[in-house]
Structure 1
Amino acid sequence: MWLEIIFGLVVYCLSGLFFSGDDDDILDVENLETTDSDALFSVAARLEKLHGGKVYTGLRIPDADTHQLQNIDMVLLTKGGEAVVISVQNLSGFVSVKADGSWVSKSGRNHKTEHHPDPVAEAKRQAAVLKYYIEGRGNTTVPEGYLSCKVICPNPNFCAIHSDYFPPEVVTYEQWIQLKPEWKSMFSGWIKDAFLGGKKEKQESVQKLNFVLSTAPTWDRLELKGNKYLLGEFLDFKGKEEDVQSLKAIKRSKVSRLIVQKTSMFVVVHSKLQVLYCSRDYRNEGASASDWKEVTVRSNAEVLFQLQNSTKSRKFKLSSVVSMSLSA
């Protein structure tokens, strides 16, 4: 009895000694400004629950006019084929709409004032860019007005001043929390009729849309411990030469996703991680068991990642990473 207790304490202490870096990683993650990314994925999850279908998040659609990539927070594609371009405005404080459509927010004790370009106008522009992209890749015609748009404000500290002044495309926090699956009338006006035609034509159109959106350029996605998500661009791996060499096979041209798992806690000589990575399938048929490969590296190996809307790159220990998805 006592031997079992002593053995358990020894194992606990050793695991705490060798894996203590993980807690530090989580603390570093907690200090990151991930609120916007968290809000984005929270909204996406709730929309899928409310509407069914699929939400495509973090899109980067080529804009023929500017020759640049247009960021789109998400596109909701329902089972019935309705599509909505959605912009998430994670603003807090008192928010009002100016005559030109731009927004002003005041937050904090000092009532810090910030000005924001018209998010509805921007969402409509994103819808126009996406329409042109779908027609080019899907070899189909998208009816005018089919791609509707919404601006969702999910921050509980969002307070709309004169909410009646906000355009109908805006979903304030109060409206957002009231949406429920059984309240169809609350969001039936969000979406437009699907492509015209019979059942077969409609089904083919939905399949084309799913294919185009699922293969469209996106930001890379980093999932961290604590249910935190980051959008940005994967740059490289850092660490011991042996570990970096083992991870050389993980390139975006060949790999679409990786998952990080901790090896047995009884391996106390070195803290090790198993990295499972999936070969990229350009046919979009999903990965089979044979597509997954595995390498073992030290837990202090790092991922070099540049966050969306940032010019600086950050390092994250693999021990703090749950998974990473790479755009083609």
Structure 2
Amino acid sequence: MWVELLCGLVIYKIITRFFSEDDDDIAVGSSDSTALFTVADRLEKLYGGKAYVGLRIPDADTGTQKNVDIVLVTKREAVVVSVKRFGGFVSINADGSWVCVGGSKHKEERHPDPIAETKQQIAILESYLEQRGVSVPEGYFSCRVVCPNPKFSTLLSNFPPEVITYEQWIQMKKESKSMFSGWMKGAFNGGKKEIQEQLQQKLNFILSTAPMWDRLELKGKYFLGEFLDFKGKQEDIQALRNIKRSKVNRLIVQKTSMFGLAHSTLQVLYSPRDYRTEGASGSDWKEATVRSSTEVLFQPQNSSKVRKIKLSSIISMSLSA
């Protein structure tokens, strides 16, 4: 009997550890993606312009796609922003790599130089823009590394100017378009002349049509990754057959119920993909009604596992071309 209990306990530990690690992975992925959108939203409010999140820029030299967290385009300049959720005490080695001690994993972590990585992303982005017919002025792109984790701390008094620490991040305030001062000026307003409106329009068009991760919005959090398919009853899959990335760029899920009971069906509104306009008008949206048990198969960024997510828990989903 004791042997059976012991074996059962071991099996239970193995199973719970497997699923807890699985949940930890998806929680971290959600936190990372949500941090990107939180930072992008705040930058737009502070400096105007448009922030593009989760880009996958083709690298002609390696034949792969490089992840770019955020590109903020304003009338003054464009900033490539890397968001690092590092926690604990952070120091910098002589080679530029970062060392974090006392973070969430309670052990020393080493990370490649994020400033060098971001500057490399700028070079790849400039090459991609040139391939699409746009050459930006030399030095137009600048790089910043934002550290929005409240648990980020450092004893260094001379952190690189490209880095915005947590303390600096929470102190940032909206400024008028014509007045800049202090370290804020060095962070996002480098004194460059306003670029021509035509160049800004071209940049916005190219970045809005550049490869990027699919975006899944749930209540209070986001996921970046790749939408794979729907899963559910045959008639529901048939109703959603037109939702393909080649035809649709965004869908919104609305819950419906009968007589105040639990939601039994979902109304899925989706907009056709059209590069000629900023977005679909109200009359262009199509709709489909499916069971609330329908699921979305989604593979989060930096994960090898495919997730099944209830369509009823999704607010919206944006698909890259």
Q: TM-score, normalised by structure 2?
A: 0.86
1:203 matched to which residue of 2?
Answer: 197
Structure 2 unmatched ranges of 5 or more: 1-22
Distance 1:284-1:81 versus aligned 2 partners, 3 A rule: farther
Change (3 A) 1:169 1:108: closer
**Cα drift, residue 284 of structure 1:** 3.4
Counterpart residue type for residue 127 of structure 1: I
Match of 1:325 among 315, 318, 321: 318
**Matched residues in 1 for 2:164 and 2:290: separation?**
46
1:91 corresponds to: 86
Letter in 1 for 2:95: D
Does the C-alpha gap of structure 1 residues 271 and 95 become closer, same or farther in structure 2, counting only changes over 3 Å?
Answer: same
Distance 1:30 1:313 in 2: 12
Deviations 1:233-272 (A, max 9, x none): 0000001111111111100000000000011342759710
Q: Distance in 2 between matches of 1:97 and 1:116?
A: 10
**1:184 aligns to what SS in structure 2?**
coil
Task: Please tell me the root mean square deviation across aligned C-alpha atoms, in Å.
Answer: 2.2
Q: Which amino acid aligns with 1:187?
A: M
Distance 2:113 2:299 in 1: 27
Partner of 1:302: 295
The equivalent position to 1:49 in structure 2, one of 45, 48, 61, is: 45
Quote the residue 1:75 is aligned against.
71
Unaligned runs of 5+ in 1: 1-27
- Which structure 1 residue ranges, 4+ long, deviate > 4 Å from structure 2? 28-31, 192-196, 267-270
**Paired position in structure 1 for 2:3:** none
Give 1:32 shift. Answer: 2.6
Distance 1:224 1:135, change over 3 A: same
- Supply the distance in 2 between the matched residues of 1:266 and 1:323 (Cα, whole angstroms): 25
Q: CA, structure 1 residues 109+245, in 2 after alignment: closer, same or farther (shift >3 Å)?
A: closer
1:314 is aligned to 2:307: yes
Q: Tell me which of 223, 226, 232 is aligned to 2:217.
A: 223
Q: Which amino acid aligns with 1:66?
A: T
Percent of aligned pairs sharing the same letter: 64
Q: Are 2:267 and 2:290, in contact at CA under 8 Å, matched by a contact in 1?
A: yes
- Structure 2 residue corresponding to 1:245, chosen from 219, 228, 238: 238
Pairing of 1:128-147 with structure 2 (within 5 A): 128-137=123-132, 139-147=133-141
The residue identity in structure 2 corresponding to 1:44 is A
Normalized against structure 1, the TM-score is what?
A: 0.84
Residue type of the alignment partner of 1:144: E
- The answer to whether the Cα contact below 8 Å between 1:220 and 1:231 also exists between their aligned partners in 2 is yes
- Matched with 2:167 is 174
Number of corresponding residues: 293
Does the residue aligned with 1:188 lie in a helix, a strand or coil? helix
- Opposite residue 104 of structure 1, the aligned amino acid is V
Kindly state the Cα deviation for residue 108 of structure 1 after the two structures are TM-superposed.
Answer: 4.8
Task: Please say if residues 180 and 189 of structure 2, whose CA atoms lie closer than 8 Å, have aligned partners that are also in contact.
Answer: no
Q: Matches of residues 117-156 of structure 1 in structure 2 within 5 Å?
A: 117-137=112-132, 139-156=133-150
| Inter-partner Cα distance in structure 1 for 2:263 and 2:174 | 49
